[in-house]
Amino acid sequence: MTKPSDRLLGLIEFRPDDAWQHVVIAAPEKCRTCQGKNCLRVCPSAVFQWDNIPDHPVLVYYKQCVECGACRLACPAGAVKFAHPRGGYGVVYHHG
């Protein structure tokens, strides 16, 4: 699947941190009863993925996060924990 962020190829660069995940679902049990699953719809970079099977977890592909913060606001259960990546990691925007 082509990530929305791929359309910006050349303008953004990801420096993934293999040792620390900066976006996590801290309360995954809340996802089982979550009807709207807003995280799937608001993330511009398709970080959250779910296979539509009720007992299956929502997966978090944090290495493609563009750090907009929308998931933290959109989750009605407060289940998403977001922090900016450690220094030197994460998304880098190139301008000009």
Number of residues binding to ligand SF4, judged by CB under 6 A: 26
- The correct pick among 8, 12, 24, 34 for binding ligand SF4 (CB under 6 A) is 34
Sequence length of the chain is 96
75 binds ligand SF4, rule: CB under 6 A: yes
Q: Does 44 bind ligand SF4 (CB under 6 A)?
A: yes
Q: Does 39 bind ligand SF4 (CB under 6 A)?
A: yes
- Specify the amino acid at residue 75: C
CB neighbour list of residue 46: distance below 8 Å, 6 or more residues apart: 1, 3, 4, 61, 64
85 binds ligand SF4 (CB under 6 A): no
Interacting residue ranges for ligand SF4, rule: CB under 6 A: 23, 25, 30-31, 34, 37-39, 42-45, 47, 58, 65-71, 75, 77, 79-80, 82
